[in-house]
Structure 1
Amino acid sequence: MKYRKLGSSDLEVSEVSLGSWLTYGLGVEAEKARACLDEAFNQGINFIDTANIYGRGAAESFLGEALRERPRDSYVLATKLFFPMTETDRGLSRAQVEKQLDDSLRRLRTDHVDLYQCHRYDWDTPLEETMEALSRAVQSGKARHIGFSEWPADRIRASLDLSRDRGFTKFVSSQPQYSLLWPEPEKEVIPLCAANGISQIVWSPLGQGVLSGKYDPESPPPRDSRAASAEMGGFMDRLMRPDVLRAVQRLKPIAAEAGLTLPQFSLAWVLREPNVASAIIGASRPEQVQENAAASGIAVDQELFSRAEAILNEALADARAE
């Protein structure tokens, strides 16, 4: 496993990290989830990402229990806030940052998180209030660093201005969706962040499993797959189109030319971008963790990546046109 520096922070994170969206505490049995976590550490993964909203606290509670016997300095722990936890608890106000961070720490059974992230931008709270609250969280020692997920470029710029002009703590990470199936961050977010000491920690680098190549466009999804799960498959409609699935199948021979499985090839594509510090994987079986972790440190001929991009761009253009 290779490691990369997270933005302007002092954190070194594994190129492949383990996430818990739709899986731990919710869609995956505790015993299997613990086996995935153990395998992650076996593979050198040191970065664990979660959020308060995952299972309404269930993912954090699972991790708090599963990690409690491990030395706290042996892993980098990140969580998030924004989405509604109750009818009244949501957003990035000063009160919510304080309340949700304390609640997350209690569930995670720790006195601090290494990275505290704004899960989305809060248009109902002044950015200055959010930045001040996050700065207080860092000053208190409850969060070592701060980040955001899926913020538009103009809001990232505004946060940088406030950090410079008001002395607020500066963001060190961005967590966008980024994959061969969704290269959008390359347009604005990645260049902006790269110029300002902010690294990407990308989610869904395998397109929620579609880039594993396991979905046959002519057959129903495997019964044990995410797409077949009522708990985990609800966000996959756009990616499960037959034309997209057929295009993904055409990537398998290209991955084989590189001596890789398709998931490894897809992760290597994400990690070819220097501004990406880590690619978050979701796993329901330890073998998936092992296979995906092997993508770290792999160099692939750019010509192979270009061929894969061309195939998917054609399919995705057709999908957008309809």
Structure 2
Amino acid sequence: MEYIQIEGARKPVSRLIKGTDYFKHDTYEKAAANLDAFLAIGGTTVDTAHIYCGGESEEVLGQYMQERGNREALVILTKGAHHDQHGPRVNAEAIRSDLMTSLERLQTDFIELYGLHRDDPSVPVGTILEALNEHVEAGRVGAIGASNWTWQRLQEANDYAASHGLTGFTFSSPNLSLAKANEPFWPGCVSADRETLDWHEQTRLPLLSWSSQARGFFTGRFTPEVRDNEDLVRVFYSDDNWERLRRAGELAGQKQTTTIQIALAYVLNQPFPTCALIGAQNREELLSCDEGAKINLTREELNWLDLK
């Protein structure tokens, strides 16, 4: 397993990040076995959020760490300030409420990576950063970042932080995958486009990609004729993505690996620090991801896969 450093996190961040959006109390044993297997391949970093499974995801992770006594072996990435039925909640009160609840559920007093789950462009970046810095200074969180923020807002925020002596964002978590999204998977979500990738290459800000394998698009299960997954059809079905899938399969044959491993390698071989959030739910899937993370791709291969 390879690792990156994220300013403020205090521990190495594994380049594969274990997703937990299916962790529930009634499937605790499955979740615990998944985490054991993840640690066995060298994984350290686990992704959760205040809203996942109505809070059960964080609670299951907290229970697991208490039972195993392995809190120090893990890097927690959790997120807060997601909108609710009334609209956006990117404000100091919501950030504090969600964070304190997350700490209680996780049974810890410190979160290595804390991200805002959504943006609210109507709120000035200074107001948001000042609210987050309160928790950095209090020792509740290490690195602060943003999920589903545009690169322009990230740049604006970090410019404000630099000019006001504040801690800025040290990671971003949009969607990045070889398959390019036709539209957001969920309202308010951001997928990395060419400008975003260029900005990350210039700034070297780490990118932690969710849906890094395009939610199964590269498994071989889907074809233009198979249209039983409405969300996948809506977001990823396009002529260009079918050609990317074909090229990934061709390159997989040359490298004696699998198409989905090439898709994962695409994310992890970008010319700036990246991690991939993975949804592997058993040991075999974890091992496949581990093997995919070890594949090296040249800049030329990346460009070819991406139809450049």
Partner residue, 2:233: 237
**8 A contact 1:9–1:172 mirrored in 2:** no
Q: Does 1:263 align with 2:270?
A: no
49-58 or 6-15: bigger deviation = 6-15
**8 A contact 1:17–1:281 mirrored in 2:** yes
Residues 1:272 and 1:250: Cα distance change in structure 2 (over 3 Å): closer
Which residue type is aligned with residue 205 of structure 2? I
Structure 2 CA distance for aligned equivalents of residues 203 and 71 of structure 1 = 25
166-175 or 249-258: bigger deviation = 249-258
**8 A contact 2:252–2:258 mirrored in 1:** yes
Structure 1 CA distance for aligned equivalents of residues 241 and 197 of structure 2 = 27
* TM-score computed with the length of structure 2 as normaliser: 0.85
Instruction: Name the structure, 1 or 2, with higher relative contact order (CA <8 Å, separation 6+).
Output: 1
Structure 1 CA distance for aligned equivalents of residues 13 and 296 of structure 2 = 19
Q: Note the 1:290-305 alignment, pairs <5 A.
A: 290-305=287-302
Which residue type is aligned with residue 272 of structure 2? N
**8 A contact 2:227–2:233 mirrored in 1:** no
Which residue type is aligned with residue 16 of structure 1? L
Structure 2 CA distance for aligned equivalents of residues 121 and 178 of structure 1 = 18
Shift of 1:290: 1.3
5-14 or 94-103: bigger deviation = 5-14
Shift of 1:50: 1.0
Residues 1:245 and 1:270: Cα distance change in structure 2 (over 3 Å): closer
Structure 2 CA distance for aligned equivalents of residues 240 and 125 of structure 1 = 31
106-115 or 244-253: bigger deviation = 244-253
Structure 1 CA distance for aligned equivalents of residues 9 and 266 of structure 2 = 24
Residues 1:187 and 1:8: Cα distance change in structure 2 (over 3 Å): farther
Structure 2 CA distance for aligned equivalents of residues 145 and 246 of structure 1 = 37
Structure 2: give runs of 5+ residues left out of the alignment.
Answer: 182-190
Q: Deviations over 1:257-287 (max 9, x none)?
A: 1121112111111111132331110122221
The counterpart of 2:198, out of the listed 191, 194, 213, is 191
RMSD over equivalenced CA pairs, Å: 2.7
Which residue type is aligned with residue 77 of structure 1? I
Structure 1: give runs of 5+ residues left out of the alignment.
Answer: 222-226, 228-233, 314-322
Structure 1 CA distance for aligned equivalents of residues 137 and 28 of structure 2 = 35
Residues 1:95 and 1:66: Cα distance change in structure 2 (over 3 Å): same
Percent of matched pairs sharing the same residue: 27
Provide the aligned length of Structure 1 versus Structure 2: 297
Q: Note the 1:154-193 alignment, pairs <5 A.
A: 154-182=152-180, 185-193=192-200
**8 A contact 1:82–1:122 mirrored in 2:** no
